[in-house]
């Protein structure tokens, strides 16, 4: 998997380049002496973050990597409290390998506020919509008002019944729905 590396600060974004692995991204960044590295270890995952501060950057600095030179300058950024982040993420190289059959690229697609593996997105969206429609039918039959709200928010979309949040349309709710396919059963399991 290849990775695209960028520098980001506020609304400024600079593409550094594509690297063949996450390890080579780290190798490149660690050539910069004024970069701060933080490591956050959890039970099953380790996050590595790299940042720079405007005040600690030189006016001009060259990074030599595989005989290519990338130039950094403090004047490309804004002074102040906002750090400059190194952001990298996997990218698919469309022309690198051709396939004969339908093949999903590695990675995730954002559906509302949640990241879903690319090969599961279609099923996830269908199940999510079925869940909403089942809830809407259930409560509309009882004469209650059912609406969806919160799309695009940090917590994601949710279902309101008479202006009270009943459930989120999130990955957990979809998982419970897929296991039950019965709205009464869904409510019992979801609320446990």
Residue written as tokens 């405007």?
Answer: 54
Whole-angstrom distance, CA of residue 174 vs CA of residue 111: 12
Q: Which residues contact 44 (CB under 8 A, 6 or more apart)?
A: none
Q: 57-79: per-residue pLDDT in tens?
A: 999 999 999 999 999 999 999 99
β-pairing verdict for 158-161 and 164-168:
antiparallel
pLDDT at 43: 86
| Mean pLDDT, residues 99-124 | 92
pLDDT above 90 for 107: no
Two structure tokens written together for 124: 């996830």
Q: Which helix (H) or strand (E) holds 186?
A: helix 183-191
pLDDT at 35: 98
CB 181 within 8 A of CB 142: no
CB 32 within 8 A of CB 72: yes
Q: Which residues contact 52 (CB under 8 A, 6 or more apart)?
A: 32, 34, 35, 36, 83, 84, 86
Question: Is residue 108 very low, low, confident or very high in pLDDT (cuts 50, 70, 90)?
Answer: confident
Burial environment of residue 184 by CB neighbours within 10 A (0 to 12, 13 to 18, 19 or more): exposed
Whole-angstrom distance, CA of residue 116 vs CA of residue 136: 24
CB 4 within 8 A of CB 86: no
Q: 75-106: per-residue pLDDT in tens?
A: 999 998 899 999 999 998 888 888 889 999 88
Give the mean pLDDT of the chain.
94
pLDDT at 148: 95
pLDDT at 152: 86
């Amino acid at each position: 998997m290849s990775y695209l590396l960028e520098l980001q600060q506020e609304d400024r974004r600079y593409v550094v380049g594509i690297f063949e692995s996450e390890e080579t991204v780290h190798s490149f960044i660690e050539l910069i002496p004024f970069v701060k590295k933080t490591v956050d270890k959890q039970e099953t995952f380790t996050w590595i973050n790299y940042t720079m501060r405007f005040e600690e950057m030189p006016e001009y600095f060259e990074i030599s990597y595989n005989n290519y030179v990338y130039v950094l300058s403090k004047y490309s950024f804004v002074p102040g409290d906002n750090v400059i982040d190194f952001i990298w993420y996997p990218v698919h190289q469309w022309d690198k390998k051709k396939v004969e059959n339908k093949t999903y690229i590695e990675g995730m697609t954002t559906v509302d506020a949640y990241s879903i593996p690319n090969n599961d997105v279609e099923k996830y969206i269908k199940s999510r919509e079925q869940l909403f429609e089942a809830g809407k039918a259930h409560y509309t039959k009882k004469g209650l008002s059912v609406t969806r709200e919160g799309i695009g928010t940090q917590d994601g979309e949710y279902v309101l019944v008479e202006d009270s949040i009943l459930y989120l349309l999130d990955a957990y709710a979809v998982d419970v729905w897929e296991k039950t396919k019965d709205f009464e059963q869904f409510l019992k399991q979801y609320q446990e």
